[in-house]
Amino acid sequence: MTADLTLRRGVPGDEGAVLGLFDRAVEWLVSQGFTGQWGEQPWSGQPRRRALAAEWCGGDGAWFAEADGTPVGFLGVGEAIDHVPPAEVPELYVRALVTCREPAARGAGRVLLEHAVALARQQGVEQVRVDCYAGNGGRLVAFYESCGFTRVGGFTVGETWAGALLTRPTAVRHWMR
């Protein structure tokens, strides 16, 4: 972890911080001409997205990276989501990862992903999986690969949202199944 970032567990009531991070991410993506990942509208204005943020913060898989007490990144981990194939081995699934673009957030995504791997090891599971948007020239896929994940497949949600599925082993093995 970088010296300037700290991690804290998310709690009910933190959904405003999650939505703020996603709103800023959407604003930046739109400013770059990238609207395919999360659209053009702020998450805070979408009831489905607000409910999702509340769900993440209501469980025990919500984590924030903070710089000087301000959230600069969010990680939500738990069970895999419906649009990906079931895991073949015990896993922890990254349900959400978002960071802001401010300099204080530099490295927050990597720190949060390493935390997910550490949590998976503590739980004794064999892998961490994540899905991400595969558009925009595969930039997000390349980021996850640079964090030790390997692309294991792709999928489409609806007619146009292209996704990639990636995995990272935790070095925990269950020899007897």
What string of H, E and C letters represents the secondary structure of 75-93?
EEEECCCCCCCCCCCCEEE
Q: So where are the chain's domains?
A: 5-169
Nearest to 9 by CA among 58, 52, 47, 46: 58
> Is the model more confident about 177 or about 123?
123
Average pLDDT over residues 94-99: 96
Whether 137 shows a pLDDT value over 50: the answer reads yes
Tell me if 92 sits within 8 A of 120, measured CB to CB. Answer: yes
Whether 90 shows a pLDDT value over 80: the answer reads yes
Q: Please state which of the four CATH numbers 3.40.630.30, 3.40.50.2300, 2.60.40.1180, 3.40.1410.10 is assigned to the domain occupying 5-169.
A: 3.40.630.30
Helix axes 15-31, 47-58, angle to 10 degrees: 130
Tell me if 97 sits within 8 A of 113, measured CB to CB. Answer: yes
pLDDT for the residue 112: 97
Average pLDDT over residues 1-14: 86
Question: pTM of the prediction?
Answer: 0.92
pLDDT bucket at 175, cuts 50 / 70 / 90: low
Average pLDDT over residues 96-111: 94
Whether 155 shows a pLDDT value over 90: the answer reads no
pLDDT for the residue 176: 47
